[in-house]
Amino acid sequence: MTTSRPRTRRQTRLTGTPIVAGLGIGPVTFADEPVLAAPRLKIAATDIAGELQQFEAAVIQSRRQLERLHARLAALPETARTELAPLIDAHIHMLGRSRLMRAIRSAIEERLIAAATAVADVAEDQAQAVLAARRTADDGAAQRQAEEIRELGRRLLRNLIRLPFRSFADLPHGSILVVERLRPSDAALINPAQFAGIATEDGSPDDHTAVMLRAIGVPAVTGIAGLIAATREGATAILDGEAGTLILNPTEASLTEAARLRAGFARAQRSLVRLRRLACETSDHVPIELQANLELPFELPMIAQSGASGIGLMRTEFLFMNHETLPDEDLQFTTYREAVQAMDGDPVTIRLLDWGGDKQSDASGAAELMPDVHEPNPALGLRGVRLLLHHPALLELQLAAILRAAAYGHVRIMIPMVSSLGELTEVRAALHRVWRRLQAAQTRLPAELPALGVMIETPAAALIARTLAAEAAFFAIGTNDLTMYTLAVDRSVATANRLYDPLDPAVLRLIAMTVHAARAFAIPVSLCGELASRAETIPLLIGLGLRQFSMHGGAILRIKRVVRTTDLTEAQTLAAAALAAPTAADVHALLT
């Protein structure tokens, strides 16, 4: 950071874009970013193999870093997580067979330049090409796409030249972090308990860093013009994330007023906690069940305190991530049992492994679970239940671990990515085989087989919901994939992102069909996708007939507050209007 610091200590009020509400008071601290410079190196033809090898190592390292970042998202609020996960997934995808990767390898081989030089040149060339091709666009999509390419290029370059990422760990606790620019990968490394506030000179309310800041929940203001020039290390500052202001060298009067506002904000937050003791029902006393999603075991204490009435979706993919071998039955059993015991009798719905397609791991590769042939459309390929049925030993091992854990509490088993009745039938047959085998071995088991349900996340499953409902014990609607498959939109692709909308009438009608089918056969149906944690959609979803929702534990009380102000009759009227709406925009208009 080369800008000189000011000497004045006069109170100065700076204005930017409010990102995260809340008030922070503390000393200013800076986190300078190490300068990233790509070497300009030509190589001999005999060096090509070595440079390619270095590049491949950097790709592997980058992928692992991104997978660790992805795992960290589990601790974030559901709404932020569902926004950030596609961004990280997109970067992981770009590390695969993307145009960027092919062009870098070609540059090393054909232009005889070092891997670091190739990464820097190709990433910038492709970013510029994106901007040039979309110069007339006014929605910022091209800017975001170009920045994603540059961001991935910077990650690869850092790993190639072994330049460490910016560190925040040693900065003073309780301080106001002031930086010229914060990247999403930087924000993901920030401990939310470390800073009283975050202020940046660059940034916009719609960029990925803003999304990440909302995720970690620290009061934040971005886009503050002149921030670096006006700020001095150690100066006292007041950051107001709701008003979008940063007051430097505040007067005593300003500090007193800020302390008053901060106390008021804390009281409002505490009012949410008091909701935990109140019934979860609409204003006309219709009971609504709120459960939590579990992605990583460390979430268990938070879920236990969230007021959730169980785990509506326990993802099991974490057992297979960042491992070189597949988890054995005992390891899976121990993990599932821990979750079951932690919920102390409340139901735990364990989803069978939803792997495959673009979700890869070292373990699945080592076990040769994935097909040798390239899948041009991974999301439509061998994933979810298709992968499990293709590898019955993997399915039965997981079923055995779940059945053993079910002896310790209320467990339900959920099948991912179902698109036909046959898949449900085959999994049920496998479940009975494993049950009989464990009985014969006198393994401790529950008194009865756990309920076997289906995740409704493909249009096919929704369209045959009545057929599935006749055989399944319960439904869980996954709106993230259901939206993607229904609208044929990959939300990780920036150019198509705005088309991805779970409030599209086409998606809502599939949800309604699923609810009606479940009711016809008297089986429970829940919703565990992104919509469940969006407060503005809850009256609509209740109006569609849903009475169970599963979400990130941090959203439970916020959604409960909405539930308690919802009137069923009004919700049903709203749902009827939404189902009749011609476009997603019309549905959004109904919710405002």
Q: Which residues are catalytic?
A: 208, 528
Distance CA(295)–CA(552), nearest Å, equals 9
Q: Is 221 helix (H, G, I), strand (E, B) or coil?
A: strand
- Measured CA to CA, the distance from residue 534 to residue 330 in angstroms comes to 37
**How far is residue 550 from each of residues 150, 291, 343, 514, 562, measured CA to CA in Å?**
36, 4, 15, 16, 15
Neighbours of 265 (CB within 10 A): 17
Cα–Cα distance between 58 and 62 in angstroms, integer? 6
Residue 277 known to bind ligand? no
Residue 491 in marked binding region: yes
- Per DSSP, the residues of 146-181 read HHHHHHHHHHHHHHHHTPPPP--TTSPTTEEEEES-
CA atoms of 209 and 265, how far apart (whole Å): 24
**Is 159 part of any known ligand binding site?**
no
Read off the amino acid at residue 444. R
Phi, psi of 289 (to 5 degrees): -100, 125
293 is in an annotated binding site: no
User: Was 547 annotated as part of a binding site?
Assistant: no
Cα dist from 197 to 72, 265, 489, whole Å: 20, 14, 36
Task: Provide the CB-side half-sphere exposure for 589 (13 A, CA).
Answer: 8
Tokens of 518: 């479940």
Instruction: Please give the helix or strand (H or E) that residue 216 lies within, else none.
Output: helix 208-216
Maximal CA-CA distance, the chain: 81
Query: How far is the C-alpha of 553 from the C-alpha of 71, rounded, in Å?
Result: 16
**Neighbour order of strands in the sheet with 220-222:** 12-15, 245-248, 236-240, 23-30, 175-179, 195-200, 220-222, 17-20
Cβ count within 10 A of residue 46 = 7
Residue partners of 160: CB distance under 8 A and separation at least 6: 54, 55, 58, 115, 116, 119
> At 98, phi and psi to the nearest 5?
-90, 165
The answer to whether 315 is a known ligand-binding residue is yes
Give the single-character DSSP code of 12.
Answer: E
Specify the 3-state DSSP secondary structure of 505: helix
Exposure on the CB side of residue 135, measured as CA atoms within 13 A: 4
What Å distances lie between residue 19 and 199, 235, 548, CA to CA? Answer: 10, 22, 31
Query: Which residues does the annotation place in the binding site for phosphoenolpyruvate?
Result: 315, 351, 480-481, 491
Query: Which residues does the annotation place in the binding site for Mg(2+)?
Result: 457, 481
